[in-house]
Every structure is written in C-alpha cells, then in structure tokens.
C-alpha cells in the first residue's frame, strides 16, 4: 500500500508523512509539493491513497490535480485537506472520498487510512 501526501507547506507534509510512516509501518509514504510532482510520482508507481492540499500557489493546485486524477480514472482513495475551502466544494466530486478542514485532527487522517485498509480487506 502506498500513500501520497501533496502539500506545499513543507512542515505539514513532512510531519504528516512521518506520522503515517510510524503508524502504518508496512505502508510506503511519498511526498509531493504540488500537483505536477504528484502526477509524476503517479506515473512512476501505483499509489493507493492521496491526501492533497488545494491551495498550492507555486505549482499545480489541488483542484487541477483532482481534475487530472478524474481524467486518469484514478482508482485509489482521495482525501482533500484545505484551510481555504469547505466541504461544500468537494462533496459532490466523485473522486473525493472525504474532506478535512485545516487545521485537522491527525487522528482523523489515521482513521481515514484505517478505513481504506478495512475496505481493501473486505
């Protein structure tokens, strides 16, 4: 299982990745600082879960990344993390599994990964 964290805020990206690596020791966690880097990583290997920020001004933003994932028919789980938008913007987007308003509780992210794990086992 591979998880990708897409966020332009380096400390958030780094800390979230470290926590996920510690919590899910058998999972690989990769990081991207914006959408284009995320798509490049997706070209290189399969990713099962994506946590993505939306507002990433120095590169491809999360909204465009969601569109690209949709075009590619990405089959994994996608979670949006944003401090700028609310759930309304994403609730009808079929590619988005859930939305986390920043600042979010890290346990909610861990629960999301556990849910995917359970779904996969089932």
Partner 1 sequence: MLHNYVYDIDGTITKEGYDLWYLTSLALARDKGEFEKNINDWKTSKEDLYSRSLKMMNLAVAGFSSNNIEEEVLKIIFDIGFNNLIRPGALEQISRDIEKGRVCFSTTNYSQGAQVLSRLIEEHLGLNPGLIKVKGSIIDLNERRVISLNLGPEKILGIEGVIAQAYGDDPLGNDQAMMEAANRAYIINTLKNKEVSLYDRLYW
What is the residue-wise DSSP string for 34-61? Answer: SHHHHHHHHHHS--SEEEEES--TTSS-
Q: Which listed residue (19, 36, 41, 101) binds partner 1 by CB under 8 A?
A: 19
Q: Does 23 bind partner 1 (CB under 8 A)?
A: yes
**Does 102 engage in binding with partner 1 (CB under 8 A)?**
no
72 binds partner 1 (CB under 8 A): no
The pairing of strands 2-6 and 49-53 is parallel
Burial string for 58-79 (b: 16+ CB within 10 Å, else e) reads ebbbbbbbbebbeeeebebbbb
Q: Does 3 bind partner 1 (CB under 8 A)?
A: no
- Figure out which of the listed residues 46, 94, 103, 122 binds partner 1, where binding follows CB under 8 A: 103
Q: Catalog residues that contact partner 1 under the rule CB under 8 A.
A: 11-12, 14-16, 18-19, 22-23, 103, 105-107
């Amino acid at each position: 299982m591979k998880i990708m964290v897409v966020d332009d805020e380096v400390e958030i990206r780094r800390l979230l990745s470290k926590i996920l690596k510690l919590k899910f020791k058998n999972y690989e966690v990769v990081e991207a600082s914006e959408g284009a880097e995320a798509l490049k990583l997706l070209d290189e290997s399969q990713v099962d879960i994506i946590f993505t920020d939306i507002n990433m001004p120095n590169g491809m933003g999360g909204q465009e990344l969601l569109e690209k994932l949709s075009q590619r028919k990405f089959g994994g789980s996608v979670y949006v993390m944003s401090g700028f938008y609310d759930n309304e913007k994403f609730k009808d987007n079929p590619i988005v599994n859930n939305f986390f308003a920043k600042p979010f509780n890290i346990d909610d992210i861990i629960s999301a990964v556990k849910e995917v794990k359970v779904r996969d086992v089932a």
